[in-house]
Amino acid sequence: MAKGTTERISTKAKWITGLLIFAGFGLVLVSLIRWQLVRGEEMEARALEQSLQSTTISAMRGTIYDATGTKILAQSASVWTIVLEPNYLNDDDALRRKVAKGLAPILDMDEEEIYEKTGEDSYFSYLKRRVETDVRDAVNEFLTENEIESGVRFLPDYKRYYPYGTVASNVLGFTGSDNQGLDGLELYYESELRGTAGRLVASKNAWGTDMPFEYEQYVGAEDGHSLVLTIDETVQSILEKHLAEGIEKYKVKNGAVAIMMEVDTGAIVGLATKPNYDPNDPYTILDATVLAEIEALPEEERDAATTNAWYKQWRNKAVSDTYYPGSVFKMITGAMGLEEGVVTLDSTYTCTGGFQVEGEPEPLHCWKREGHGLEDFSAGIYNSCNPWMMHLGSLLGVETFCKYRDAFGFTQPTGIDLPGEATNLYHDVETMGATDLAVESFGQNLSITPVQMVTAASAIANGGYLVQPHVVDRILAPDGSILKTTDTAPLRQVISEETSKAITEILRYNAENGTASGGYVAGYRIAGKTGTSEKVAKWNEDRSKPMEYIASYCGFAPADDPKYALLVYFDEPDGSENGGLTGGNAVAGPIFTQIMAETLPYLGVEARYTEEEYEELDTVAPSVTGVPLEDAIAALDEAGLDHSVIGSEAEGVIVSAQIPESGSALPRDGEVVLYTEGYAEDEATTQVPDFSGLDLVNASYLASINGLQISVNGADISSAAVMLQNIKAGETVQVGTVISLTFAENINTETFVPVG
């Protein structure tokens, strides 16, 4: 019995231990093989994934230069971001207090705020982003003095600067908190500008702090590429200056656009839109009126209103807004007609004040209700005659019209290198009825972007080639070498050289003597067409309000060898506030004139005057200051200028000052006022009167009785009136000062067309 027991124990014990060792550890072995060998790499990868943290080393964002290649429109500079590691601080209240007290004045932050942050349970908390190096040094000094070794860190970072402030803001866009492009070129060229961030890969423990491993791997950052734009800062500034002037003068409610394009290449030399913003500080609303409106709102509506205002001022109206081109489009319809041969320059049509479209209850009217009478083709365009265009449209037919409309690029986004290009709304070939065709023939009910319009106008100007609009000329590597130059080859030929020349000639006549005389610039052979687009859709929403307009002027110069096209576009000039000015000629024309007059000389377009123009041309005042009075008068006589003297006229008296100053422009038969010793102050100054709305004769008279001189710009026709004056009414100037007046005719060449 006993022996049996012992043997049984022995057997059982061996079985149990055997099971324990072979089955138990056997199972373990299977598991180990599974996890270590079969799925080992996967497990290791997962372990590494959680413990290897890569710190990004920011790449420096590329610079954006203007067309001159020397002016910097956007640039990144090294700054520092200060980060707290609260877990090294949060268990020592005295230390927290000390850090908060010490850093608050350096960082210009609230002491309590810093104190709160030091109490967080984390190893990473932004304290202040993007401080300059001197601030970082001051913080460092504070930490060293107080022997604080951990808890505050510095991360290298970059800050984006836009040295020209608001200039070209809607083209440039801006960057966000991680230096990522959020709008404009910064967004569109994000992949070029951003560069490749470097990485520092290091092991971290589960708390996110460093692990004593030599697993570190450093990959240097590659700086971003730079952009050289086609936009010239000088041109851009001129565009913006005059847009602002126009907005103020014509009480424009919904912003404005001016686009200047090199007609042969599609290079945009200036693209200004209003409202705009300062990309250095994109979240500040610049428009004081809008700001006041937001302030007036109840608290809960302010955020939404602010966001709206942001999007409005960030919006690039030139590519994101669509409008009906209106009469400007007549140059396109005209070109279609000539190109297809359905009309010739000699074709005529009699405008009776309306055009009967089949199926319509009554004729669609011309802007001139009484009708233009018998007009040849050119007159149809320069009179901006709607029936002529409807007639032409019916001659073309739907298919041909649509073919050219596509060819001119009105139905596809242009592919300009800017984000947010709008899509077009139009009747396609299948759905276009006779009425639609008639209305589109004079530019209504066809939604296009301003960029599309100026591109199509360029095709008219350059011999018929549709070009690719673009704002970036070339992309540079960080070392300055050229990586890529934009291809400026035309996309396709839309019309022939002959058609192009013919239309250009008509438009030139139009700008000098036709409905577009508001855009005339002496010596620069402007070809242009006005447009006054009705915002029908808006009006349809609420017909109790008056119709709103978009006043535009699209033209190019010089007509004999077109170089630059310019579209000026004002969205909703307030006729009830500005004296009834809503038409393209009166509103956009004078601004077009001013821009062309200022930019073309800068862009190297040579002025060539006709004899008549030469007569009226301004001359430059010679320097007669500091010489004896007799010599000064002799010099002025020789230059064919009159003179008057204020002060002593004694023999040998020295001229102490002159108005206009040496080098300033004054009319060819103008007068130089010479100031000598002892003139009376009140005698020497005068107030500028308001010239608005006066014709040339009355403006000259008003100037002379105020002791002023005028210089004439724009329309040289008798019915034109003063639209702009370069010195505001009420300002005090010295006697003899030359006031530059811009004339234009106030004609609204649009027809009310209440078609769906």
Partner 1 sequence: MAERRERTRRDPGRRDTSRRTTARGLSQTPRKARESAVQSREQPVRRRRPVRTKLFSLGQGLDMPLFVFIMVLLAVGLVMLFSASYAYSYYRQGGDSYYYIRRQGMFALAGVAAMLLISTFDYHRFHKLAYPIFVVAVVLLGAVFVFGQLLHVESIAPSEGVATRWLRLGPIQFQPSEAAKFALIVVLAHYISQHVEEMEGFVTGALKPILLVGAVAGLIVLEKHLSGTLIVGLLGVLMLFLGGTRVRHLLVLGIIAGILLLAVLGIRNALSPEEAGEAVETAAGGYQMDRVIGWLHPFDPPEGVDTWQIRQSLYSIGSGGLLGVGLGQSRQKYLWLPEPQNDFIFAIVCEELGLIGALVVIILFSLLIWRGMYISLHAKDKFGTMLGLGITLQVGIQAVLNICVVTNTIPNTGISLPFFSYGGTSLMILLGEMGILLNISRSANVERT
CB of 252 to partner 1, least distance (A): 58
Binding-site member from 203, 664, 692, 740 for partner 1 (CB under 8 A): 203
Contact 181, 162 (CB under 8 A): no
- Residue 20 engages partner 1 in binding (rule: CB under 8 A): yes
Name the residue type at position 624. Answer: V
CB of 25 to partner 1, least distance (A): 5
Contact 550, 533 (CB under 8 A): yes
d(Cα 100, Cα 85) in Å, to the nearest integer?
13
Residue closer to partner 1 by CB (options 21, 482) is 21
Residue closer to partner 1 by CB (options 207, 311) is 207
Beta bridge partners of 368: none
Residue closer to partner 1 by CB (options 37, 288) is 37
Pairing of strands 564-571, 268-274: unpaired
Residue closer to partner 1 by CB (options 10, 68) is 10
What Cα–Cα distance (Å) separates residue 655 from each residue in 661, 686, 707, 712, 735?
Answer: 12, 20, 19, 28, 15
d(Cα 157, Cα 221) in Å, to the nearest integer?
12
Residue closer to partner 1 by CB (options 13, 755) is 13
| Residues 210-229 contacting partner 1, CB under 8 A | 211, 213
CB of 203 to partner 1, least distance (A): 6
Of 6-14, 138-146, 422-430, 479-487, the segment contacting partner 1 by CB under 8 A is 6-14
- Residue 5 engages partner 1 in binding (rule: CB under 8 A): yes
CB of 204 to partner 1, least distance (A): 8
Residue 223 in tokens: 């700086």
- Residue 29 engages partner 1 in binding (rule: CB under 8 A): yes
- Residue 33 engages partner 1 in binding (rule: CB under 8 A): yes
> Site size for partner 1, by CB under 8 A?
44
Residue closer to partner 1 by CB (options 206, 680) is 206
Per-residue buried b or exposed e for 238-270, using 16+ beta carbons within 10 Å of the residue's own CB: bbbebbbbbbebbbbebbbbbbbbbbbbbbbbb
* 327 in catalytic set: yes
> How many Å separate Cα 273 from the centre of its chain?
4
- Residue 149 engages partner 1 in binding (rule: CB under 8 A): no
- Residue 685 engages partner 1 in binding (rule: CB under 8 A): no
Q: Residue 170: which of 450, 511, 457 has the closest Cα? A: 450
Residue closer to partner 1 by CB (options 9, 729) is 9
Contact 366, 571 (CB under 8 A): no
CB of 216 to partner 1, least distance (A): 13
Binding-site member from 12, 101, 538, 608 for partner 1 (CB under 8 A): 12
- Residue 28 engages partner 1 in binding (rule: CB under 8 A): yes
Among the listed residues 327, 441, 500, 711, the single catalytic one is 327
Helices in 251-348 by DSSP H: which ranges? Answer: 288-296, 299-314, 317-320, 330-340
> How many Å separate Cα 468 from the centre of its chain?
18
Of 200-208, 575-583, 667-675, 725-733, the segment contacting partner 1 by CB under 8 A is 200-208
Beta bridge partners of 349: 375
> How many Å separate Cα 394 from the centre of its chain?
38
Residue closer to partner 1 by CB (options 24, 165) is 24
Binding-site member from 9, 292, 537, 705 for partner 1 (CB under 8 A): 9
CB of 122 to partner 1, least distance (A): 15
- Residue 36 engages partner 1 in binding (rule: CB under 8 A): yes
Q: Residue 566: which of 535, 597, 610, 607 has the closest Cα? A: 597
The long-range contacts involving 139-146, CB below 8 angstroms and separated by at least 24 positions, are 139/82, 139/103, 139/106, 139/107, 142/102, 142/103, 142/106, 146/98, 146/102
Binding mask of the shown chain, residues 688 to 727, with x at each position contacting partner 1 by CB under 8 A: ----------------------------------------
**At 724, is the secondary structure helix, strand, or coil?**
strand
Binding mask of the shown chain, residues 39 to 78, with x at each position contacting partner 1 by CB under 8 A: xxxxxx-xxx-xx---------------------------
- Residue 31 engages partner 1 in binding (rule: CB under 8 A): yes
Per-residue buried b or exposed e for 282-317, using 16+ beta carbons within 10 Å of the residue's own CB: beebbbeebeeebeeeeeeeeeebbeebeebbbbbb
Residue 499 in tokens: 């058609």
By annotation, the residues acting in catalysis are 327
Binding site for partner 1 (CB under 8 A): 1-3, 5-6, 8-10, 12-14, 16-17, 20-21, 24-25, 27-33, 35-37, 39-44, 46-48, 50-51, 203, 205-207, 211, 213
